Amino acid sequence: MKQQLQLIWGVKYMEKAQIGVVGGLGHIGLIQAACLAKLGYKTTGYDKNISKVEDILKGKLPFYEPGLHEIVEETLKNGLLKFTSSVDDLKSCDLIFICVGTPSLPNGEADVSQVFASVEEVVRNRKSPCTVVIKSTVPLGTNRKVAKYLEEKGLQDKAVIVSNPEFLQEGSGVRNFWEPSRIIVGAQSGEIAETIARLYSPPGVPVIITTWENAELIKHAANAFLANKISFINEIAVLCEKVGGDIRVVSRGIGLDPRINPYFLEAGVGFSGPCLEKDLKSLIAQFHKKGKQAKLLESVLEVNEEKRKEVVHKLKEQLGTLAGKHIGVLGMAFKAETDDVRDSHSLPIVRYLLSLGAMLTVHDPWVKSFREAGFSEADFPGVKWVQTPYEAAEGKDALLILTAWPEYRELDLARIRDSLVHPLIVDGRNLFDPREMKAANIMYLGVGI
């Protein structure tokens, strides 16, 4: 299997490479570690979160990602994949991927402290040099600063720094690993960059070898452009509602133009999650730091924030006041096919509804409580979690859909209607055809339809 894969992918140099993945039990790190092991590399996932390491060794993955469980199980069993909570276990690794978090600070800047700390940690006690590949999304200039930081600590001979930003999407992360749209490598040496690119790029996949700064900017600009597309279609959706248009038809008509393409043109409650919003805020902060405005990007963010309020205003318009009203909320994850709630749009919407006095019952197929999602229940007073969407609708004044889980599309509309006190659905994901809802005698308010 290993030889076959190496033949197909043309990997020769790396035959004996041992790979370490720091943040190996995070969303990016675990997919990276498991898929590299599946490719045949001896891979060690190192994570400082001991309980995640203990759990995975008992077969429990820290998050849901389609197709990942099987690869982890297989590669743990054949010995190619290992997990550890001790950094010393990375001492024999030639290549070390840094996949730690870079969360938003309150001013929008990315907090890169985990990146600096983890690079120093893995490099400090090494005897032989290694290549440190930074996959985490970092602001412009960070790779250079990391190299300088090692120099200041007298550790420059222990590691070569390479930027290799990650573009996978949660929910299709495993598929994205096998079929990447492109591989971007920023490095000071072309030879090292090519080695990294060859490590896991399938034939025919475009590879761009460039500078650290270009690699960092490509990642941020790509996410900002995707966010831009979503806010663009959401702005057009506002006008659609005013003139009785249907944004889904408009979107299709726009997306058939090959210069535009149909992706990220679905109107709805906007973008959220641990990447698009965070990276857009970080990019705006990078403009500000250089004394420049990012007018277009700031508007993209503004339109997005408006969209979250809009669904609440739609409920208010129909119900008069939300104080004391019972609302069922479907979907807490930031998108379907993931149980990730970090920076999900559902959180500020739930907070806004609570601030207006609404009583909330929430459902998500994969998220079962705020605590499980890493939040304090006390921050969401009185919110009740239920096991099915029908329980969320039972006796409620309205139902609000926030995540496009496929199973919500399959709801028995007659049952939902009979469960609701007022047959009202506000849909932030346009999951249904309004005609279907009309036939079921449900008042249905989507976005731009």
When asked if residue 53 is in the footprint of ligand NAD (CB under 6 A), the reply is no
Is the CB of 196 or the CB of 445 nearer to ligand NAD?
A: 196
Binding segment toward ligand NAD, per CB under 6 A, in 3-11, 111-119, 263-271, 323-331 = 111-119
* Angle (deg, nearest 10), helices 276-289 and 212-243: 110
Nearest-angstrom CA–CA distance, 383 and 366: 17
> For the sheet containing 326-330, what is the strand order?
384-385, 359-363, 326-330, 398-401, 424-427, 443-445
Member of 44, 75, 102, 346 binding ligand NAD (CB under 6 A): 102
List 99, 130, 240, 275, catalytic entry: 275
* Site for ligand NAD contains 47 (CB under 6 A): yes
Any catalytic annotation for residue 240? no
Residue 374 CA to chain centroid, in angstroms? 16
**Strand-strand pairing, 398-401 and 326-330:** parallel
Which listed residue (114, 228, 346, 419) binds ligand NAD by CB under 6 A?
Answer: 114
* Window of 27-35, 257-265, 299-307, 351-359 that interacts with ligand NAD by CB under 6 A: 27-35
Segment interacting with ligand NAD (CB under 6 A) among 7-15, 40-48, 203-211, 252-260: 40-48
Q: In what order do the strands lie in the sheet with 95-98?
A: 81-84, 42-46, 18-22, 95-98, 130-134, 159-163, 183-186, 207-210
Of 266 and 277, the one with the shorter C-beta distance to ligand NAD is 277
Interaction pattern, residues 252-281, with ligand NAD; x per rule: CB under 6 A: ----------------------xx------
Rounded to whole angstroms, how far apart are CA atoms 132 and 115?
11
Residue 247 C-alpha from the chain's centroid: 25
Closest CA to 163 of 143, 148, 180: 143
What whole-number distance in Å separates Cα of residue 39 and Cα of residue 32?
Answer: 11
The one segment of 45-53, 198-206, 253-261, 389-397 that binds ligand NAD by CB under 6 A: 45-53
246 binds ligand NAD per the rule CB under 6 A:
no
What angle separates helix 113-124 from helix 142-152, to the nearest 10 degrees? 40
Q: How far is the CB of 161 from ligand NAD (least distance, A)?
A: 15
Q: Which is nearer to ligand NAD, 34 or 237 (CB)?
A: 34
Show which residues are catalytic: 275
**Which residues in this chain contact ligand NAD in the complex, by CB under 6 A?**
22-23, 25-29, 46-49, 52, 99-102, 114, 117-118, 121, 136-137, 166, 168, 170, 274-275
